[in-house]
Amino acid sequence: MVDSMTNRTAFVTGASRGIGLACARALAGAGCRVVLAARDAAKLEQASAEIPNSCWVELDLASPPSIERAFAKAGKVDILINNAAVTKDGLALRMKKEAWDAVLATNLTGAFLAIQQVLHPMLRERWGRIVNISSVVGEAGNPGQANYVASKAGLIGLTKSLAQELASRNVTVNAVAPGFIETDMTASLSQELKDAMLSRIPLNRFGKAEEVAAAVKFLASDDASYITGQVLRVNGGMYM
């Protein structure tokens, strides 16, 4: 697998922490040149310093000009990992349009615009990997997250449509749908809420960012060359 990814360039959004950073590390370990992208320049610089053969670019997926600048700096991208996402939770009854728009703009529209930036070179080269990070809630739903769930479900639909559009040029498009993963967010939850979450997970533990990254690395490799339009669930059995 290392040989198949050597000399490939992987662009990872939301790469300054959590799942995105784990993906960047995994892809670098497989031989890729990795471009880390996120909004926090200080965290990006620190993360990139620890990852061989990597660089970083500032990226705000809610801003089309920022997307264009980031990909112009990155150069040709062979592997795109659409991981960046934001949340603005609230019950639908009281959700402001601004909260809906902000989440969809970053999580879905931003991901689509990022994909557009890499399509021409991928189609020319007749090789490319696009992996969209969805979520278990994109398939199962979750109260109080109508905007976030809609964005993650939209990524799955986008994945399936693009997989059909791009397959003839050997560009695969897949999604990874993590369940509850140990992150900064889950670390701050109350024990009562953690216990409630764990009761819904057959493997009876939260996942690790590295376990999501392993799935992403697989889908980005030549070992997954006959897989496209799929949703790979990394959720401990929470949703089947």
Known catalytic residues are 148
> Who's near 77: CB < 8 A, 6+ residues apart?
9, 10, 11, 35, 71, 117, 118, 121, 122
d(CA 21, CA 94): 34
Residue 231 and residue 139 in contact, taking contact as beta carbons nearer than 8 Å: yes
CA distance 203 to 72: 43
Hey, what amino acid is at 197?
Answer: M
The answer to whether 10 and 26 are in contact (CB under 8 A) is no
